[in-house]
Amino acid sequence: MFPSPFPEYINFFCSDLATPPVFPLLPEEKKFLSTLGSTKRQAEFSLGRNCAHQALAKFKLESEPILRNAETREPCWPKSVRGSITHSGEFAAAAVGLANDVAGIGIDLENLARDVDFNISRHVCVETELEWLKNLSPELAKRGLRIIFSAKESIFKCLFPISQTYLYFKDATITINEDNSDFSFILSKACSGITKVGFQHKGRFTIKDNMLLTSIYL
């Protein structure tokens, strides 16, 4: 569905519920699947792991089970790998790279057709982001808010596994560059051992068929 937004040393795979999985769930994953209480969560977990195994296949690690940390709910990757999984509705994606090549990866999928209360901007956005949104038409402002929200999700997914520092929405300030389909951000909170206050970096966003993908890597 989406082309890879990453360099060659990071493998990306995106799929949907209608596509038969290439790799079946591993026994450990099936056991975990049985603990999930709803068919929706089971479908999301299964599709996300299918994408993860497809992405890991490049590094011949597709037979490694990808379970979930019970406390933080993050995927448990092999020690030699950095990765990220995301799902939204009928779609999921995974991106992985070797720890020797990449320090962290973050991806997030959002369904733009799903209605979201614009008032959440007060909880998601810092003042400069709110000012930027105010200058847009209502439709573009909704779109911009979704990109900001998704970008901050990707930032957290990239940095948390390697820092174990919780970032909240207002700990990052996003600037969107529509012409280049990318965004820059600055952190107002340090991530232990990784970034300092004022750390700046860039990510990308792609919109296709009403689905939004944001991505970053370090």
User: What structural domains does the chain harbor?
Assistant: 10-102 (3.90.470.20), 114-205 (3.90.470.20)
Query: Mean pLDDT throughout 194-204?
Result: 96
Pairing of strands 81-88, 91-98: antiparallel
pTM of the model: 0.95
Cβ 167 vs Cβ 189: under 8 Å:
yes
**Of 186, 154, 192, which Cα lies nearest the Cα of 170?**
186
Q: How far apart are CA 22 and CA 56, in angstroms?
A: 12
Q: How far apart are CA 170 and CA 188, in angstroms?
A: 8
Residue 80 corresponds to which tokens in the numbers above?
A: 């030699």
Residue 127 corresponds to which tokens in the numbers above?
A: 């003042």
Question: What is the pLDDT, as a whole number, of residue 164?
Answer: 93
Query: Mean pLDDT throughout 25-43?
Result: 92
Does residue 89 surpass a pLDDT of 90?
no
DSSP state of 170: G
| Phi/psi at 170 (5° precision) | -90, 10
Question: What is the pLDDT, as a whole number, of residue 167?
Answer: 95
Query: Mean pLDDT throughout 172-191?
Result: 97
Terminal Cα-to-Cα distance of the chain (whole angstroms): 24
Could you tell me which residues come within 8 angstroms of residue 153 by beta carbon, excluding any fewer than 6 positions away? 86, 106, 108, 214
